[in-house]
Amino acid sequence: MDLPLIDLQPIWLSLQLAGVTVLILLVWATPLAWWLAHTRSRFRVVVEAVVALPLVLPPTVLGFYMLILLGPHGWVGGPVQALTGSALSFSFAGLVFASCLYSLPFVVQPLHSAFESVGKVPMETAQSLGASRLDAFFSVISPLARRGYLTAIVLGFAHTLGEFGVVLMVGGNIPGKTKVISIEIYDRVEVLEYTQAHILSAGLLLFSFLVLVMVYSINRRLPVQVT
């Protein structure tokens, strides 16, 4: 029996998508999580709910609105098309945009709770020693919140890797551009190529499992002492 040929392109694309998404998320989820952890604003609950929405919404709902938003007539897609000549829907950039919303809670929530457990004191202390807020954040807060960062990175990456509904709605199924692993699996199953589907599915399953084991063992081994 011939070894079934596996198309590596969807795997590579998935890894790229997850990597870029996590990088972007880290940059903009950090201030958001910090704000959530320390604000006394009454809008906090509203923002918290919005951040958590992707956890409960069917991906098709999110995907549908994304499609409209990113399409040639959408608020985001329109201006982008005017600038670059093509809209964001059915493109890799559109996938990244959608993933950044879809995976947001998985990055914000670990950071939020990490910042909460670090508390206000280290920031105040660093400032009293002459550090600006930004300096204090990088020299004191982020090292103390490193467990939260690791969890956020790993969960954000794994979750983006596993998304299906949003990607299908926003990205379509364009080989080399928007066809990621989860969609490739769907395609294989549709044409009854179970062997390929098995290999990809088992790979994703194993990867996700290993990632979660890593998260939990890191959480055990990296105690953050706050004195």
Q: Which residue ranges make up the site for other proteins (CB under 8 A)?
A: 121-122, 124-132, 135, 139-140, 143-144, 224-227
Nearer to other proteins, 124 or 193 (CB): 124
What is the closest distance, in whole angstroms, from the C-beta atom of residue 38 to other proteins in the complex?
Answer: 14
- Structure tokens given for 167: 């990607």
Cβ of residue 128: shortest distance to other proteins, in angstroms? Answer: 4
Shortest distance, CB of residue 121 to other proteins, whole angstroms? Answer: 6
Note whether 148 and 115 are within 8 A (CB): yes
Q: Which residues contact 225 (CB under 8 A, 6 or more apart)?
A: none
Minimum distance from residue 226 beta carbon to other proteins (Å): 6
Q: Which is nearer to other proteins, 191 or 227 (CB)?
A: 227
DSSP notation for 44-110: HHHHHHHHHHHHHS-HHHHHHHHHHHHSTTSTTHHHHHHHHSS-STTSHHHHHHHHHHHTHHHHHHH
Decide whether 59 or 122 has the Cβ nearer to other proteins: 122
Judged by CB, which is closer to other proteins: 210, or 226? 226
Contact 174, 90 (CB under 8 A): yes
Cβ distance to other proteins smaller for residue 41 or 139: 139
Task: Compute the least distance from the CB of residue 169 to other proteins, in Å.
Answer: 43
Spatial distance between the Cα atoms of 51 and 160, rounded to a whole number of angstroms: 16
Q: Cα separation of 158 and 166, whole Å?
A: 15
